[in-house]
């Protein structure tokens, strides 16, 4: 087939590859034919038959949907006259693997071609924070930032929009609904976090940003809290939703940038609004106990006992109705649920600051990372921000949230 193609006999090359692919499929199944179909796709593309090449690559991806190189090749073909469809294919690559550097570069170039500077910049920012950027990528990113216009937050995020665009999968699943119904009771069973020492109200600190951000981001997330500044605050910030809505900020954070503080307020206020602030600072033992309690609440009827039985006995009619809807759950991954709720708070912080670098920096500080400079966060995006935060930052949902929140009243 290669000799036929090299001699200009494309039809003969195609015929040979198709026949070989059918023979391979008959002997070894669809996967055995993939290399031959890939060769066919390349010959078709080289001959200028783009529609046929597209069909060949789509056939390959039907068999091997995780084939990143084939999906990138398909995206490049689409990009000739349909960059939006090319973008969709590249985002599928990143949904499966956030470490595929070539997909970021192509994705940024396609957004740039469509005039979407914000999204092109986000893609290159993520590439840099994951440690994959080259000098040319950084130059392009700086050029895009120079023409990007930051818009202030103007609108609130109502309950419907929060559910549609912000919530993680964990918050939407049965355990999310159960936790929401029992949030106060479950929070009261977890020891309250240490709030640090030498606490003083935010208005006494002399830093006007604290009250400004609290008012602005609190309004956006439709919640409020008492804001204090202290010393030796575990995790650099302590957040409670019950019995009082509190945010205590370690004094060391007063030297942080506006974007970093905005992340902190968004992170805290979303957790307060959702009633899961206690999850932000539970230790390993408390986490295990809480996971066990959640599993017991949704276990098959009759299995709950001890603390779970006490919660059920004292539950409101509404909470009991939630339990009835989700009773009998087996193989519940309570650990994944807890991780998903932490991811939700990080999403909210990112929306509030719209600065992925600042978000990763603050996550690093709150998890005890000793970083000398902001440059030290490079390659931490995949560890501290997590794949969820990277994908969310590049998603349509994130774009929809930003569009909603900055739209003129």
Distance from C-alpha of 246 to C-alpha of 198, rounded to nearest angstrom? 15
Distance from C-alpha of 267 to C-alpha of 352, rounded to nearest angstrom? 8
- With a CB cutoff of 8 Å and minimum separation 6, the contacts of 82 are none
Confidence of residue 47 (pLDDT cuts 50, 70, 90): confident
Q: Is 227 left (phi over 0), alpha (psi -120 to 50) or beta?
A: beta
Is 134 in contact with 286 (CB distance < 8 Å)?
Answer: no
Is 182 in contact with 246 (CB distance < 8 Å)?
Answer: no
Nearest to 175 by CA among 80, 24, 294: 294
Query: Is the predicted pLDDT of residue 272 greater than 70, yes or no?
Result: yes
* The pLDDT value given to residue 320: 87
Read off the tokens for 90.
């590249």
Cα 266 to chain center, whole Å? 15
Confidence of residue 1 (pLDDT cuts 50, 70, 90): low
Domains of the chain, by residue range, sit at 2-147, 159-406
| Choice between 109 and 49, residue whose per-residue pLDDT is larger | 109
- With a CB cutoff of 8 Å and minimum separation 6, the contacts of 288 are none
* The pLDDT value given to residue 181: 92
* The pLDDT value given to residue 9: 54
Buried-state track 134-158, b at ≥16 Cβ within 10 A, e below 16: eeebeebbeebeeeeeeeebeeebe
Query: Is the predicted pLDDT of residue 4 greater than 80, yes or no?
Result: no
Confidence of residue 183 (pLDDT cuts 50, 70, 90): very high
CA-based torsion, 90, 149, 137, 46: positive or negative: positive
Distance from C-alpha of 201 to C-alpha of 115, rounded to nearest angstrom? 45
| Choice between 79 and 380, residue whose per-residue pLDDT is larger | 79
* The pLDDT value given to residue 6: 53
Paired strand residues for 240: 246
Distance from C-alpha of 78 to C-alpha of 107, rounded to nearest angstrom? 12
**Mean pLDDT value of segment 225-231:** 97
**Mean pLDDT value of segment 182-189:** 91
Distance from C-alpha of 151 to C-alpha of 290, rounded to nearest angstrom? 40
Please, what is the Cα angle at 239 between 237 and 242, to 5 degrees? 160
* The pLDDT value given to residue 39: 81
Q: Look-up: residue for tokens 């409101």?
A: 316
- With a CB cutoff of 8 Å and minimum separation 6, the contacts of 373 are none
Read off the tokens for 378.
């490079």
Query: Is the predicted pLDDT of residue 301 greater than 60, yes or no?
Result: no
Q: Is 370 left (phi over 0), alpha (psi -120 to 50) or beta?
A: beta
Confidence of residue 137 (pLDDT cuts 50, 70, 90): very high
Report the CATH number of the 2-147 domain.
1.25.40.10
**Mean pLDDT value of segment 162-178:** 93
What is the value of pTM for the model shown? 0.88
What digits encode the pLDDT tens for the residues 21-42? 667 666 667 777 677 778 878 8
- Biggest CA pair distance of the chain: 82
What digits encode the pLDDT tens for the residues 68-124? 999 999 999 999 999 999 999 999 999 999 999 999 999 999 999 999 999 999 999
Cβ burial of 209 (10 Å; 0-12, 13-18, 19+) is middle
* The pLDDT value given to residue 7: 55
* The pLDDT value given to residue 230: 97
* The pLDDT value given to residue 324: 85
CB atoms inside a 10 Å sphere around CB 3: 10
DSSP E strand stretches across 267-386: none
State the number of CA atoms in the 13 A half-sphere of 352 facing the CB: 32
* The pLDDT value given to residue 21: 63
């Amino acid at each position: 087939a290669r000799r036929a193609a090299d001699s200009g006999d494309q039809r003969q090359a195609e015929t040979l590859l198709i026949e070989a692919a059918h023979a391979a499929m008959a002997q070894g199944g669809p996967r055995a034919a993939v290399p031959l179909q890939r060769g066919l796709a390349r010959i078709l593309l080289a001959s200028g038959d783009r529609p046929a090449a597209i069909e060949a690559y789509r056939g390959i991806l039907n068999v091997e949907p995780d084939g990143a190189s084939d999906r990138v090749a398909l995206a490049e073909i689409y990009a000739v006259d349909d960059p939006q469809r090319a973008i969709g294919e590249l985002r599928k690559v990143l949904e499966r693997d956030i470490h595929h550097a070539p997909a970021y570069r192509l994705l940024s170039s396609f957004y740039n071609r469509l005039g979407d500077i914000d999204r092109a910049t986000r893609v290159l920012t993520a590439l840099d924070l994951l440690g994959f950027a080259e000098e040319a990528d950084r130059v392009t990113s700086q050029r895009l930032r120079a023409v990007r216009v930051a818009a202030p937050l103007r609108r609130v995020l109502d309950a419907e929009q929060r559910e549609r665009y912000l919530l993680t999968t964990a918050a939407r699943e049965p355990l999310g609904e159960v936790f929401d119904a029992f949030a106060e009771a479950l929070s009261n069973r977890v020891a309250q976090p240490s709030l640090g020492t030498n606490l003083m109200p935010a208005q006494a600190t002399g830093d006007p940003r604290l009250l400004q951000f609290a008012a602005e981001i609190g309004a956006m997330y439709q919640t409020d809290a008492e804001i204090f500044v202290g010393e030796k605050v575990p995790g650099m910030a302590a957040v409670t939703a019950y019995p009082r809505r509190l945010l205590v900020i370690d004094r060391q954070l007063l030297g942080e940038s506006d974007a970093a503080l905005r992340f902190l307020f968004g992170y805290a206020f979303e957790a307060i609004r959702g009633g899961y602030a206690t999850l932000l600072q539970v230790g390993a033992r408390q986490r295990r106990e809480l996971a066990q309690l959640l599993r017991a609440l949704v276990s098959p009827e009759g299995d709950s006992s001890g603390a779970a039985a006490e919660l059920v006995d004292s539950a409101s009619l509404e909470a009991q109705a939630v339990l009835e809807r989700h009773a009998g759950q087996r193989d519940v991954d309570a650990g994944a649920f807890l991780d998903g709720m932490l991811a939700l708070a990080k999403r909210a912080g990112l929306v509030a600051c719209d600065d992925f670098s600042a978000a990763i920096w603050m996550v690093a500080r709150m998890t005890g990372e000793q970083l000398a400079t902001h440059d030290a966060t490079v390659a931490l995006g995949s560890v501290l921000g997590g794949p969820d935060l990277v994908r969310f930052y590049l998603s349509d949902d994130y774009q929809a949230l930003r569009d909603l929140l900055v739209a003129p009243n």
